[in-house]
Structure formats: structure tokens, C-alpha cells
Amino acid sequence: MSRVHPAGPRHADVLTEDHPMPPAEDLNALDPAVWPHGARREEGVLNLGGIDVRDLAAEYGTPLYVYDEHDVRARAREYAAAFHDGDVHYAGKAFLCTAVAKWLNEEGLGLDVCSGGELAVALAAGFPVERITLHGNNKAPWELERALEAGVGRIVLDSFEEIARLAFLAGERGVRPKVMIRVTTGVEAHTHEFIATAHDDQKFGFSRSSGAALEAVRRVLDLDQLELIGLHSHIGSQIFDTDGFEVAAHRLAELLVAIRDEHGIELPELDLGGGYGIAYVPGDEPHDPKAMADGLRAIVARECKAYELRMPRLTVEPGRAITGPGGVTLYEVGTVKDVEGLRTYVSVNGGMSDNLRTALYGAEYTCVLASRTSDAPPMLSRLVGKHCESGDIIVRDLWLPADLAPGDLVAVAATGAYCRSMASNYNYVPKPAVVAVKDGTSRVIVRRETDDDLLRLDAEANA
């Protein structure tokens, strides 16, 4: 039977308004909102940063994470310009390696790290320590020690235990780290449950509504070993509407007033976290960084004016918005299987080990045939991986050309954030290489894992 979608009644569930069958020529189009700035088709073949993806696949193999360096740097500059009177700390959890840390340092950003490992990468990249923030809801003593030894710019405190722990470790070393209090503002961010972080019933921060945030401030101010510089809030991730950020900014400003009234001090800094949504599929409308910055600044300024408070310095921590759109994953098609009357399963040589987001959050992605164009009619497809799970899905519902065949390359857009950083070795699949492209050149910034890497920690294999 033809793999062209037969438009039978069993397709009704996926033939929704969200996934109407497009004209065949649309399958070759690259929506500029979703693809990196430097992506185009040249003689039908996807070209990233001036390089034909067939050449990238031939040189580095697949699956392959490809980052458009100009795209990442341009987005970093855009945020830095928007928050020119404050600080932009890139959230390294989105994707971090020494090359990216160096790009962002050169663009003047700071860096938010949330583990001793991320801190080690930042230090290896020579990232200026005074522009590093340490995060985490359960930082181990060794992670706090590493941060103190390095002399990081600030540590965001997340629990009462941590306040005592850090004060003790700082006292032992005779240092006085700058700290912020992470506040749970009670904002219900409009995003997937797993990536909303400011509602009361979750693990991060000190609750504002219960009074824990103000109690944390009291405890820190009672301690000589810690220097309290401000409050922090991060409401969640992949957020499109601005309401949540505005409510959080408003509630933090109210807390600054309460602190002034109780302690007679005005904290100089306010960190509003990250969470700015990016376009994964056509129609997603990301924030304009300048409009966002102007809006947040105006809200905080309004509150400060109303309460006669000095305007604090603002920091934001975008992760996904900096590295997400500049990253593309290239895969090779291995099998194309019709499941009669339902859809076509296109299996590629990666999957949930290099992109967990679809399995974990039901994330949506855009995928195109990359190694050629096709005028074949669209077939209703599901892009799946090679792992032993039926939930090993990269793109749940998409239209691909009906002549797709083993050996074709497909590219998935907007995979620069939370894909390599959340990658695993499930099924002992090695993690793909990461390549940076720029002006027609390419280089490996994280090499592909090998079987030796997979066996490196196996004690008996190395006995």
C-alpha cells in the first residue's frame, strides 16, 4: 500500500487543526522562526553555517548536534543589549561546553551553573568567576566548597539547611560569599507541569506565601559569614506569555519593601531567572528580548517608585533562548515502516538518548528531509529512535515526503537546549558529537563517544 496518507477515518485523531496535511512543497520550506539564522537550502540540500549537511554527516557521522555559532552569539548579544543596565547570566543547564562558555564570555554574559560539574566546565573555560552564579536545590557540601574556593560571584540559597551549611563552610575559609534567596513566588506559569517552578507545591526555593522567604532573609542577615545581595525567582521554562514574569516581579518588589521595612536595608539586586520560550514549531511566538526587558524594568521601577525604593540591578538567566534555536540535530534514516491505516514510522539512528524532551514533556519539534528536496506527496509520519521503548519518539506527528528512504538525512530544528545536556547512554548508545559551524567552517566542540567511553567505567572490563 502507498505510504501516502490515505485520509481514512482512523487518521481523524491526528488530522487535527494542529496537523493539517500541508502542500508537498511546504515540506521543503525552512521557517526562519524555527531554524538557525544561517540555515538555508542550497540546491535542495540543507546548509547550516555555510556547510552542506551531507558533508557534515560524512565528516563527523550521525546523529550529530550542529550549532550555528553566529546564531548563538547573536541571541546572546540581543539579550545583553536588551538588559544593558543589568546582567544576563546564561543558564548552562541548557547546554554547556567550554567552547560555548567562551563564546558567551566574549559576548559579555555571565553564567548560571547548577552543579559542581557545570562549575568545573566553566572554570575549565576560564570563565570569569565573578560572573558565575551557583544554583541548585540540593547543593552538596563539596559543590559549595568548590564554589567558595573558586570565588564565584554569587550563590543562590534554596533551603534553610543550605544557609547554615554555606555559612559554616565560608566561616572555615574566612570568606564572605555574596548570596541571594530563591523565592517561590506562587506564580502558576503556563507551561508543562514538569518545568513550572514557582507554584507552591514543588521543590525549589523559599515560599513567599508561607513567610519562609522572609524567614530566610532574617537568618542570612543574622549571619556574619554571608552577604545578602538580593532575591531570585525563576518561574519555569518555555513560557510565552509575560503575565507570570510580571506577577513574579511585582511580588519580589513587595518583598523588597517588606525587607526594607523590617531590617532597614534595600537589597541591591533582583534576579528574575530565565524561562523565555522559543519557537519549536511554526506558529510559536517567542518573546522579543527588548520588549521583555523593557516590560520587566517598567514593572520593577513602578513598584520601586510607589514604595520609594531604590531600583535594584536586574539579572535574567535565559538558557533555552540563547542556545536552543541555534542547534540542529542531524539523523540518518534507517527504516521506514508503514503501519497500515495509521501512519509511517521513520526510525533514525538516535532517539530518546539524544533528545528526551518529547518523551518527557510531550515536546513538539520541526523536522525536514535534509539531504535533498522531494516533490513526493506528504505522508503522515512519526519520527522515532532506535531505543527499546515505544515512547522513544522524537517527533510525534509530522508530514514527511512519501519517498523518504533509508540513507536520507533528516534534521530536527531547535535542539540546541536541553538535548545534549539531558542526553543519556540508554541502551549503551554513545552520545553524538557536537559540531560548531560558522562561515563555511566546522569544528568538533564535544567529540562523539566511543565504545571505549562506554566501557571506561566498567570496573571488570578494565581490571
Ligand X SMILES: Cc1ncc(COP(=O)(O)O)c(C=O)c1O
Ligand Y SMILES: N[C@@H](CCCC[NH3+])C(=O)O
- Least separation in angstroms between CB 306 and ligand X: 27
365 binds ligand Y (CB under 6 A): no
> How large is the greatest C-alpha to C-alpha distance in the chain, in angstroms?
77
95 binds ligand Y (CB under 6 A): no
Residue 275, annotated as binding a ligand: yes
- Least separation in angstroms between CB 234 and ligand X: 4
Residue with smaller CB distance to ligand X, 156 or 330: 156
- Least separation in angstroms between CB 214 and ligand Y: 24
Residue with smaller CB distance to ligand Y, 423 or 429: 423
232 binds ligand Y (CB under 6 A): no
Cα-Cα-Cα-Cα dihedral sign, residues 28, 33, 39, 42: positive
Asked if 315 and 271 count as a contact pair (C-beta separation under 8 A), the reply is yes
| C-alpha 393 chain-centroid distance | 19
Q: What is the amino acid identity at position 2?
A: S
Residue with smaller CB distance to ligand X, 103 or 399: 103
Residue with smaller CB distance to ligand X, 320 or 396: 320
280 binds ligand X (CB under 6 A): no
Instruction: Tell me, residue by residue from 176 to 205, as one string, x for binding to ligand Y by CB under 6 A and - for no binding.
Output: -------------------x----------
Q: In what order do the strands lie in the sheet with 39-42?
A: 39-42, 45-48, 51-52
Integer Cα distance of 336 and 382 in angstroms: 10
Q: Which three cell numbers stand for residue 28?
A: 521543503
Integer Cα distance of 370 and 383 in angstroms: 14
First CA to last CA distance, the chain? 54
| Interacting residues with ligand X between 133 and 162 (CB under 6 A) | 135
Residue 318, annotated as binding a ligand: yes
Residue with smaller CB distance to ligand Y, 74 or 422: 422
Angle at 19 between CA 333 and CA 32, to 5 degrees: 70
387 binds ligand X (CB under 6 A): no
- Name residues whose C-beta falls within 8 Å of residue 222's C-beta, 6 or more positions apart in sequence: none
276 binds ligand X (CB under 6 A): yes
75 binds ligand Y (CB under 6 A): no
Integer Cα distance of 76 and 87 in angstroms: 11
Integer Cα distance of 10 and 13 in angstroms: 7
- Least separation in angstroms between CB 93 and ligand Y: 5
Residue with smaller CB distance to ligand X, 137 or 349: 137
Residue 357, annotated as binding a ligand: yes
**Total residues at the site for ligand Y (CB under 6 A)?**
7
Residue with smaller CB distance to ligand X, 100 or 321: 321
H or E element, residue 87:
strand 87-91
67 binds ligand Y (CB under 6 A): no
Angle at 243 between CA 241 and CA 244, to 5 degrees: 95
Q: Annotated catalytic, 367? A: no
Q: Which three cell numbers stand for residue 164?
A: 547554615
Residue 42, annotated as binding a ligand: no
Number of H helices, E strands in the chain: 12, 21
Among 321, 328, 368, 402, binds ligand X (CB under 6 A): 321
Residue 319, annotated as binding a ligand: yes
Residue 196 β-bridge partners: 236
Among 92, 177, 275, 432, binds ligand X (CB under 6 A): 275
Distance (Å) of CA 90 to CA 117, 224, 280: 16, 30, 20
Residue 227 φ then ψ, to 5°: -110, 110
Which SS3 state, helix, strand or coil, does residue 45 take? strand
Among 48, 56, 66, 94, binds ligand X (CB under 6 A): 94
- Catalytic entry in 97, 114, 304, 388: 388
238 binds ligand Y (CB under 6 A): yes
Q: What is the amino acid identity at position 460?
A: E
Q: Which three cell numbers stand for residue 349?
A: 539512528
Among 92, 153, 274, 378, binds ligand X (CB under 6 A): 274
| C-alpha 125 chain-centroid distance | 20
- What is the 8-class DSSP label of residue 236? B
93 binds ligand Y (CB under 6 A): yes
Binding span for ligand X by CB under 6 A among 244-252, 273-281, 290-298, 328-336: 273-281
Distance (Å) of CA 384 to CA 69, 110, 212, 280, 353: 28, 37, 45, 17, 11
317 binds ligand X (CB under 6 A): yes
Select from ligand Y, ligand X, none the partner in contact with residue 357, using the beta carbon and a kind-dependent cut-off of 5 to 8 Å.
ligand Y
Select from ligand Y, ligand X, none the partner in contact with residue 112, using the beta carbon and a kind-dependent cut-off of 5 to 8 Å.
ligand X
Residues forming the active site: 388
Q: Output the known binding site for substrate.
A: 320, 357, 361, 389, 418
Question: Using CB under 6 A as the criterion, which residues of the chain lie in contact with ligand X when the complex forms?
Answer: 91, 93-94, 112, 135, 234, 237, 273-276, 317-321, 417
Q: Which residues bind ligand Y (CB under 6 A)?
A: 93, 195, 237-238, 357, 418, 422
